[in-house]
Amino acid sequence: MRILPVVRQILQMTPSPLPVPPLRGLYLITPDEPDTERLLDRVRAVLGHAALLQYRNKTADAALRHRQMAALLPLCRAAGVPLIANDYADLAIAIGADGVHLGEDDGDPAAVRARLGANAIIGVSCYDDLALARAAAAAGASYIAFGAFFPSSTKPNARRASLDLLRDSAELRLPRVAIGGITPDNARGLVASGADLLAVISGVFDAPDPPAAARAYRAAFESTAPEFPT
Ligand SMILES: Cc1ncc(COP(=O)(O)OP(=O)(O)O)c(N)n1
Ligand SMILES: Cc1ncsc1CCOP(=O)(O)O
Ligand SMILES: [Mg+2]
């Protein structure tokens, strides 16, 4: 009997959230890709290298966001990678995803925690601000995100953050995410400063060889011990 396809089919039918693995490694974020089949192909090629996948599409309407994220869920389940909705807690709930990422305009983290429950992954953008990180921790965030650390072609006007924030936020004992213009060449410094997850869009999805790029980010974790562990 061919067991693997059967197991894969069962996993794809399972809507329940995954148990949360340790949050460390490459945090892939989807590019704005209007073609759903192409989005799935692009994600499929690199998903095996990710610790988390965030569905982010700033140009889609609500119906396309729902369709695309629903289509990504079975891929993530089969790969054992938690799926996070950017911006919209309602979308995460509707899809049965594993969590949501909230920026300053995306809702109150404590209220979203109360809606999504204790097991949801709730990430909070803290930009360049340790006070925001303290507030996020108090509100029940699963991780705190800082950045942009480098100029980002995806979000050219993003606020900029310094490496000190990664070091100074170690006291909060939460996984720390770095975002913004991260490439395989600048990744090691972030990990050495305490980043547990590197959130990346263009560095993987616009790379000439996306799987090779994704592998290169993973390598930054294998060879770099955090200077300020969580
Ligand atoms: C992991 C991670 N960190 C930061 C962000 C940025 O969130 P936000 O400031 O709400 O900006 P948009 O992504 O909504 O443009 C993120 N999405 N993910
Ligand atoms: C959403 C977001 N927030 C700060 S920078 C950024 C974009 C990250 O994309 P890239 O990895 O292409 O710089
Ligand atoms: Mg947002």
Structural domain boundaries in the chain: 24-222
What's the pLDDT tens digit per position in 84-97? 999 999 999 999 99
User: Tokens 């490694």 map to which residue?
Assistant: 25
123 lines ligand 2 (CB under 6 A): no
Q: Which residue ranges have their beta carbon within 6 Å of ligand 1?
A: 27, 54, 56, 86-87, 101, 103, 106, 123, 125, 145, 177, 179, 199
**CATH code of the domain occupying 24-222:** 3.20.20.70
Query: Could you report how far apart the first and last alpha carbons of the chain are, in Å?
Result: 45
Ligand 3 centroid to 7 CA: how many Å?
Answer: 35
Closest ligand 2 atom number to CA of residue 204: 11
Q: Which residues pair with 102 in a beta bridge?
A: 124
What's the pLDDT tens digit per position in 139-184? 999 999 999 999 999 999 999 999 999 999 999 999 999 999 999 9
Is ipTM > 0.90 here?
yes
Report residue 191: phi and psi, to 5°. -65, -40
201 lines ligand 2 (CB under 6 A): yes
In the numeric block, which tokens belong to residue 227? 């200077």
Known catalytic residue at 223: no
**Residue 111 burial class via C-beta count within 10 angstroms: exposed 0-12, middle 13-18, buried 19 and up:** exposed
157 is in an annotated binding site: no
